[in-house]
Structure 1
Amino acid sequence: MEAEELESEASEREPREGTDQSPEAAEEREESEEAACGAKKRVVPGIVYLGHLPPRFRPLHVRNLLSAYGEVGRVFFQPEDGFVRRKKKAAAASAAGGKKRSKYSKDYTEGWVEFRDKRVAKRVAASLHNTPMGARRRSPFRYDLWNLKYLHRFTWSHLSEHLAFERQVRRQRLRAEVAQAKRETDFYLRSVERGRRFLAAEGDSARPNGTWTFAQRPTEQELRARKAARPGGRERARLANAQDQARSNQGLLAKIFGAPPPSASVEEP
């Protein structure tokens, strides 16, 4: 009897212990699944491209405006070209008229903003595109619109490579322009030196009255005269003149009577 009672108590304890351990095992299983999901869903940064930047718009402004929608990482603005900057600076100085110091600030043409999560970047680019930049009335960018575009599968390393490539292209273009300017300068200096030599040679006794002789190609008349001077050349010249005169007479008759001009051509012997 005692053995049967012990077995019944053990059988009663087993389900109780199983019911006590099942929630803990379920929690551990859920935590492991969440950790596995978190490892699979790794946070990937996303980059948003800004195609329009108003004057006096700085990286600090875009960071303050976009930080309300998500965590913002790196920000890069492309400054305007040096030629355009110098032109604007000169225009500001001329507008001031020398009375007071001209106020000119460097502007930017385009920019890139990195969000820590690409899902936030997609949401920001889709919701803020073509909307006013400044929400407050006194904001200087109230009447400017966002021009945002999410760059799919674009990382910050790609941006660095793109900027390095643009710098290399700019250097090569500048090097080519400098080489072209150097060639033009050398040609001008050679021409000046040649002119100086010509002017210095004007007083040479070998060239009386400062006359110069240049070798030119013989004209058609000179070539005919040379051919006529050869033995039998006069007869060939006379025959060629007769053929030319006959051809001109036939053309004149064709024009008068409306007949087609003769197409046959007489070859010179």
Structure 2
Amino acid sequence: MAEEELVIREDPAEEQLDAELERLKAEKKEKRKRRLLEEAAKAAKRGVCYLSRIPPRMDPLKLRQILSQYGELERIYLTPEDPAAHIHRKKAGGFRGQGFTEGWVEFTNKNVAKRVASMLNGEQIGGRKKSSFYYDLWNIKYLSKFKWDHLTEEIAYKNATREQKLALELSTAKKERDFYLAKVDQSRALSSIDERLKKKRKTQEVNGSTADIPGDHQAAKVMRMFRQTKPVRDGGEKQKQGLSKDLLAGVFGGSP
């Protein structure tokens, strides 16, 4: 009986489906690449301004409302103040909200950012007279060749440095704690030995025994004595003032 050869034929519909999937993947990859290039081109046109001081009660939302009238904004980042300073201000009865120390503002067009920084720096913020930062002045500067990626890298570096420093401080505190606890345990052990020796000594005194107690030398405190020169006011030898006659005779060649 002859063996029949099985011939597997691919379905044309499956081939067409695979080709369509490959085409969609290629289009999606091309769109992603084109979008990245567009974002890179837009990022190259953007400009960043630095604010060295943020007025009290100013937050990112209010800052965006004020600066958006001068040009289109992208991103804003304000550095929060130190928590200790925040707590101190609240205890002193000052502003209880979140404060900020410095900030960065990204404009869509770097030419606009440069113009805004040049126009506003040193000028009064203004607005309504009832505003809490009406009399504050702008402290703003355009950062040439500075991009937002530089800021994110700097923030990430600062966070990593702070975490590393915190871990080091925690490790040091843990070592100091373990050393202290070890010394406490050692002190308790020595105190326990002293108590047992005292009890044995009292028992021997009651029984009239004069035998040495093993380990009794551990309870005795070591007292070290050092020879010291007595001070002059306590009767020590007083040094003679002036030069000796022998020394003068040796210098001038005379007899003493």
Contact 2:57 2:95 in 1 (8 A): no
Tell me what 2:102 maps to. 110
CA 1:258–1:127: 2 relative to 1, 3 Å:
farther
Tell me what 2:183 maps to. 191
1:212 pairs with one of 220, 237, 240: 220
Q: Letter of the aligned partner of 2:189 in structure 1?
A: R
RMSD, aligned CA: 3.5
Q: Which runs of 5+ in 2 are unaligned?
A: 1-40, 198-212, 229-238, 251-256
Identity %: 37
CA 1:116–1:258: 2 relative to 1, 3 Å:
farther
Q: How does 1:1-269 map to 2 (within 5 A)?
A: 44-89=45-90, 91=91, 95=93, 104-202=96-194, 203-204=196-197, 205-208=213-216, 211-212=219-220, 214=222, 255-257=243-245, 259=247
Larger radius of gyration between Structure 1 and Structure 2? 1
Q: Which has the higher helix share?
A: 1
Deviations 1:26-79 (CA, angstroms, capped at 9, x unpaired)? xxxxxxxxxxxxxx9997100000111112101111111111111111111111
Structure 2 Cα separation of the partners of residues 261 and 62 of structure 1: 90
What TM-score does the superposition give when structure 2 sets the normalisation length?
0.62
CA 1:258–1:71: 2 relative to 1, 3 Å:
farther
CA 1:254–1:60: 2 relative to 1, 3 Å:
closer
> How far apart are residue 133 of structure 1 and its match?
1.0
Contact 1:47 1:155 in 2 (8 A): yes
Tell me what 1:235 maps to. none
Q: Letter of the aligned partner of 2:73 in structure 1?
A: V
> How far apart are residue 160 of structure 1 and its match?
0.4
Deviations 1:156-211 (CA, angstroms, capped at 9, x unpaired)? 10000000001001101111111111111111111111111110111234244974
Deviations 1:185-244 (CA, angstroms, capped at 9, x unpaired)? 11111111111111011123424497426597x9789xxxxxxxxxxxxxxxxxxxxxxx
What TM-score does the superposition give when structure 1 sets the normalisation length?
0.60
What SS is found at the alignment partner of 2:141? strand
CA 1:212–1:70: 2 relative to 1, 3 Å:
same
Structure 2 Cα separation of the partners of residues 258 and 87 of structure 1: 74
